[in-house]
Structure 1
Amino acid sequence: MKTYEIILKPLSGFGTPLKGDTLFGHICWQAAYDSSLFDAPLDTLLSGYASSPFLVISSAYPVHRDNGRTTRVFKRPDMPLSYLFDLKGPNKKEIIKERKILKAKRWMVLSGADRIETFENVCFESDQDLFKRFMDVSDQHLQKEYGKKVVTAVTKKFTQPHNTINRLTGTTGEGGFAPFTVEQEAFFPNVELSIFAGISKNIQIEQVRKALSRMGTTGFGKDASTGLGKFSVTDVSEISLAKLGSEKPNACYTLSPSVPEKEAFRQIYFAPFTRFGRHGDTLAKSANPFKNPVIMADEGAVLVSERMNEILEHPYIGTGISNISKAEPKTVMQGYSLYIPVKVEV
């Protein structure tokens, strides 16, 4: 399996987070309707999915490219702060104060040829620090346009109010006509996103790029029909994720939500993420459009193993998930994740 880095340019806000399992589902729907996309019907692509995935796609992360230098930004690993920072102070009060500052540093930054040798040697930054790193002269002019609403982050989540008008009264009302809000995520202008894709020898990266380009044109996720979820694909390049990590790893840092294999890891640090899946397309109108909930380890998990030589034979970890739908028994879900090999002291 080869791995690639795909650069996306957001063109609107997003109603659904760009997580790997959701991106995989959108691509599968395209393959279901257009068998020429991957030169094979979807059933053929998924025939060996439980043991050999044809595609593994990561969640999206901010990336900054300037004069040939690439700065990649990842989620801070879901580990105790004491494993990532040196928590020492003259007294308990100072340690608590330091913890509050460190908790705000939720981004892990790799600049240029930097590698994650150990997490203790990696640069962690807060929203404000990352914004200063990404902002250039042109962005300062954009900042002035916001007036008193000073922007201090490259990404912002907010609730967008909506109204449903009762055409009989010409106003909002109760029940289905009550005002409601929808959570959205927007990115500061000029911010790009990076996703990583692992593809089998049976498909080509240009086919994946075509699928993502279609997705960006029509809209990804919730409220795509109202203009959300738009993006363009600006660049694709092959990458070795191993070169971003340690040369002597004993753990995996995951890049998308995953369901790790049983007995493959002796210690797992993760934030639980429950996917309450729902069918799309025509199945959204079926008698039971909801999938069974799946508890996953969110991206940023650190999985420690004593079998790293065996794990390093593949650029992904995890399992293919099935038996999650009563409306469509063939439904699968991406429980795989690409990873960066890292070394942790545990």
Structure 2
Amino acid sequence: METLGKTFSQMKTYRIKLSLNSGFLTPFHADTLFGHLCWVIAYLEEEKELEKFLKPFKEGNPPFLISDGFPENFLPRPFSAEFNVEDPELRKEIKKRNFVSLAEFNHIREDKSLEELETIEPSIYEVTTTHNSINRLTYTTFTEGGLYDLEEIIVSYVSIYLKVVSESWKERVTELIEKLSNFGYGRKKSIGKGQFCLKEVEEFEFPEVKNPNGFVTLSNFCPSKNNPTEGLYKVFVKYGKLGEVFTYCGNPFKRPLVMIKTGSVFKTEGKPKHFYGRIVENIAPAAPNVIQYAYAFAVPIIYPEKK
């Protein structure tokens, strides 16, 4: 498969549409999805294939980049959205929105002020469902204290954006996602949560903006040395856990990791690159070989200046 053979300026973008067949408990974050793809390789292929898969990422030459998953036809609100909005009420409304339409997203990328918000919002719901715990000795429910609640996210379709250096890498990633659909995604997949199917893969290009001098990230990321520092951004601490067989290793917890949040905007010197960030190594005390995907899926923008 090609990695260094193509320059990153030649990366092609695709939009992957997933149909959700159940509620899910684990958000579709790029790093979590990347980890799931690694587990598919670990289960279905030889160990050397996983090492080969991860090598270019560790070397700072990712052959593909994935975004977080978003409700169909919506994208995260860039944190520059309210920067030049004069109406305080509209500014408040914009800041309440987690997602904006594709048209609004591209409007913001061009550093144009939103005069109003579209009334349509994504059909995404959070529901609480109550479940019974099973006594594994008697295979019956507990008489007391056996109930527990799960916070589920309900949405019909999720879009994930993919950048690749070659057609072969596009096929590799979509094949892994297809195989992942047989396992399920995230927490409680053993009881039917996180079930999905791969509905569609289509070429997708974000409209070009003139003279971009910044980027908005469509994934949480950890900046690497010499990455841009001037920006409108939010950070959070991710308390990750190991998955699958590592769940039972005695210490499944990863080290806390400070990440920059999806929707953050940074100013660049000239035209932005396709990606920023890095792979974080030595993230799990109990599993030294485990890594954390922390690349930014960068989309060019015009960085806002006070008008």
TM-score by length of 2: 0.84
Contact 1:58-1:195 at 8 Å conserved across structures? yes
Q: CA deviation at 1:26?
A: 0.2
Q: CA deviation at 1:74?
A: 0.9
Which of 136, 140, 154 is the equivalent residue of 2:123? 154
Per mean C-alpha deviation after superposition, the further-off stretch among 194-203 and 254-263 is 194-203
Matched residue SS, 2:68: coil
Note the residue ranges of structure 1 that are not aligned, 5 or more in a row. Answer: 64-71, 88-94, 132-152
Task: Give the aligned partner of residue 85 of structure 1.
Answer: 85
Which of 193, 196, 203 is the equivalent residue of 1:231? 196
CA separation of 1:215 and 1:119: change in aligned 2, threshold 3 A = farther
From the CA coordinates, give the structure whose radius of gyration is larger: 1
Contact 2:85-2:113 at 8 Å conserved across structures? no
Task: Give the aligned partner of residue 93 of structure 2.
Answer: 101
Give per-residue Cα distances to partners, 1:93-131, cap 9 Å, x unaligned: xx4x544433334322224996654243458747xx224
Per mean C-alpha deviation after superposition, the further-off stretch among 19-28 and 316-325 is 316-325
Which of 34, 43, 47 is the equivalent residue of 2:51? 43
Matched, 1:32 2:42: yes
CA distance in 2, matches of 1:125, 1:112: 8
Which of 11, 14, 18 is the equivalent residue of 1:8? 18
Query: How do 1:329-340 residues align onto structure 2 when only pairs under 5 Å count?
Result: 329-340=288-299
CA separation of 1:155 and 1:249: change in aligned 2, threshold 3 A = same
Note the residue ranges of structure 2 that are not aligned, 5 or more in a row. Answer: 1-10
Which of 49, 58, 64 is the equivalent residue of 1:55? 64
Query: How do 1:96-175 residues align onto structure 2 when only pairs under 5 Å count?
Result: 97-111=89-103, 116-121=108-113, 125=117, 129-131=119-121, 154-166=123-135, 167=138, 171-174=142-145
Contact 2:126-2:152 at 8 Å conserved across structures? yes
Query: How do 1:312-331 residues align onto structure 2 when only pairs under 5 Å count?
Result: 312=273, 315-331=274-290
CA distance in 1, matches of 2:235, 2:134: 39
Task: Give the aligned partner of residue 4 of structure 2.
Answer: none
CA distance in 1, matches of 2:142, 2:62: 51
Contact 1:164-1:172 at 8 Å conserved across structures? no
CA separation of 1:116 and 1:99: change in aligned 2, threshold 3 A = closer
Per mean C-alpha deviation after superposition, the further-off stretch among 41-50 and 219-228 is 41-50
CA separation of 1:199 and 1:120: change in aligned 2, threshold 3 A = same
Query: How do 1:294-309 residues align onto structure 2 when only pairs under 5 Å count?
Result: 294-306=257-269, 308-309=270-271
Matched residue SS, 1:59: strand
- When the two structures are aligned, how many residues end up with a matched partner? 292
Which of 213, 218, 223 is the equivalent residue of 1:260? 223
CA distance in 2, matches of 1:244, 1:186: 30
Matched residue SS, 2:35: helix
CA distance in 1, matches of 2:174, 2:51: 21
Matched residue SS, 1:120: coil
TM-score by length of 1: 0.75
Contact 1:271-1:301 at 8 Å conserved across structures? yes
Contact 1:2-1:200 at 8 Å conserved across structures? yes
Q: CA deviation at 1:155?
A: 0.1
Contact 2:29-2:68 at 8 Å conserved across structures? yes
Contact 2:16-2:161 at 8 Å conserved across structures? yes
